[in-house]
Amino acid sequence: MIVMETKNLGKIYSFDSIKVTALNNVSIQINQGEIVGIMGPSGSGKSTLMNLVGCLDRPSQGEIWIAGSRVDNLNDNNLAIIRSKQVGFVFQNYNLLPRLKVIENVELPLIYQGVPSHLRRKKADEVLERIGLKERMHHKPSQISGGEQQRVALARALVTNPSFILADEPTGNLDSKTGKEIIKLLQDLNNGGVTVLLITHDRFVAEHTARVIHLKDGEVIENEALPNPIREV
């Protein structure tokens, strides 16, 4: 089953009279349960693609389909609903709220969804258990390590049971050992059925996925199957 698809996606940023074509004619398909890398050098359009398929921005051309529904033509409210239900975001800099405890950060997407508090706490608890951070639930982000903060961000991304996880350079701020732990966690989650899109400029990181979509100058230049992904242990 296809969980996310783009058809001839294009994005042009314009300011004053200057136009920048950030994406051109990008057609990709992600199947349920896949772990896919999106790779390209700086400026190749990776973040633009993430913003579009994550329903944070709208394309200039083309279509985006998530879980069988077309989303690029939705109004802001409906786009926000799709984003909150279908997409789990993980960013390079974790993006946790510093004043909230770990458990409260994980609960946040459920607050936006209007989930009642007892159910929120239960779900956040379960997902923290799943990623092995339950003992840190009452800490503030500043009281835990970078790797742990990224695991909290992953828990927050998972708590809504999204159609897919969009991780943009999730290991970019971490040392290589901690980065490998995060990649291993993504692989383990994928083994458990979670669909993962891993955006990176780093070949070594991308080689942990089963398929790599290569971007250059806003276009897909290669769709590379990796029969033997690196497995972190």
Ligand X SMILES: Nc1ncnc2c1ncn2[C@@H]1O[C@H](COP(=O)(O)OP(=O)(O)O)[C@@H](O)[C@H]1O
Q: Which residues sit at the interface with ligand X, rule CB under 6 A? A: 13, 20, 22, 40, 42-48
Q: Quote the least distance from Cβ 15 to ligand X, whole Å.
A: 6
Q: b/e for 82-114, b at 16 or more Cβ within 10 A? A: bbbbbbbbbbbebebeeeebbbbbbbbbbeeee
224 half-sphere exposure, CB direction, 13 A CA radius:
18
Q: Quote the least distance from Cβ 46 to ligand X, whole Å.
A: 3
Comparison of 46 and 151: residue with beta carbon closer to Mg ion: 46
Comparison of 40 and 147: residue with beta carbon closer to ligand X: 40
43 binds, among ligand X, Mg ion, none (CB under 5 to 8 A by kind): ligand X
Phi, psi of 182 (to 5 degrees): -70, -40
Residue 87 to residues 24, 36, 84, 165: CA-CA distances in angstroms? 23, 15, 6, 6
Count, residues near Mg ion per rule CB under 5 A: 2
Comparison of 44 and 160: residue with beta carbon closer to Mg ion: 44
Residue 16 to residues 19, 20, 23, 47, 74: CA-CA distances in angstroms? 8, 11, 19, 22, 27
Helix axes 102-112, 117-130, angle to 10 degrees: 130
User: Exactly one of 21, 32, 47, 178 binds Mg ion (CB under 5 A); which one?
Assistant: 47
Q: Is the distance from CB of 109 to CB of 67 less than 8 angstroms?
A: no
Rounded (5°) CA angle 5-77-107? 85
Q: Quote the least distance from Cβ 11 to ligand X, whole Å.
A: 8
Q: Which stretch binds Mg ion (CB under 5 A): 47-55, 105-113, 138-146, 219-227?
A: 47-55
Measured from each CB, the residue nearest to Mg ion is: 47
Residues of span 179-198 touching Mg ion by CB under 5 A: none
Binding status of residue 173 toward Mg ion by CB under 5 A: no
Q: What is the C-alpha radius of gyration for the chain, rounded to an integer number of angstroms?
A: 17
Contact characters 109-138, Mg ion, x per CB under 5 A: ------------------------------
Summarize the chain as % helix, strand, coil (round to 5).
Answer: 35, 30, 35
* Residues linked to residue 200 through DSSP beta bridges, in sequence order: 39
Q: Quote the least distance from Cβ 209 to ligand X, whole Å.
A: 17
2 binds, among ligand X, Mg ion, none (CB under 5 to 8 A by kind): none
40 binds, among ligand X, Mg ion, none (CB under 5 to 8 A by kind): ligand X
Interaction site with Mg ion (CB under 5 A):
46-47
